[in-house]
């Protein structure tokens, strides 16, 4: 993987048949996104909880993230509450993590920069 910023990359189609990232490769990519992202114990999902002042700001974030997910054709699982949104990325077609998960995580982070 190149050292260009993750936010400058575009997700690549992943139809399966590709191995998910090994734990050490995933941890190297994890170091390139916000420190609040974490990898699940099984190494298949990255998660971050975003906190907001109120429901309006939460939904504005969700809508912006939905736009990114649609544009990248890579969609997170979301848990939305009044002032928080839990975002989980995993590449379901390969049963684990891919570069796409970290690209989208970085783009989610950039919404709050």
pLDDT tens, position by position, 45-56: 999 999 999 999
> Structurally, how many domains does the chain consist of?
1
Does residue 2 fall inside a structural domain?
no
Does residue 15 fall inside a structural domain?
no
Does residue 76 fall inside a structural domain?
yes
Domain ranges, residue 57: 20-110
Q: Is 74 exposed, middle or buried (0-12, 13-18, 19+ CB in 10 A)?
A: buried
Which tokens hold the place of 11?
A: 């997700």
Does residue 106 fall inside a structural domain?
yes
| pLDDT tens by residue, 72-102 | 999 999 999 999 999 999 999 999 999 999 9
Does residue 8 fall inside a structural domain?
no
To the question of pTM greater than 0.85 for the whole model, the response is yes
Buried b (16+ CB within 10 A) or exposed e, 12-48: eebeeeeebbeeeebeebbebbeeebebeeebbbbbb
Residue 44, pLDDT > 80, answer: yes
CATH (domain of 99): 3.30.1360.20
Does residue 10 fall inside a structural domain?
no
Which phi and psi (to 5°) does residue 9 adopt?
Answer: -90, 160
């Amino acid at each position: 993987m190149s050292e260009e910023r993750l936010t400058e990359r575009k997700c690549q189609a992943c139809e399966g048949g590709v191995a998910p990232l090994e734990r050490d490769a995933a941890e190297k990519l994890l170091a390139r996104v916000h420190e609040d992202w974490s990898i699940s114990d099984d190494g298949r999902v990255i998660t971050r909880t975003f906190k907001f002042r109120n429901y309006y700001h939460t939904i504005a974030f969700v809508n912006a993230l939905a736009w990114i997910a649609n544009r990248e054709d890579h969609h997170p699982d979301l848990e939305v509450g009044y002032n928080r949104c839990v975002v989980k990325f995993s590449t379901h077609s390969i049963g684990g993590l891919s570069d796409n998960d970290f690209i989208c995580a970085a783009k989610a982070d950039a919404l709050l920069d």
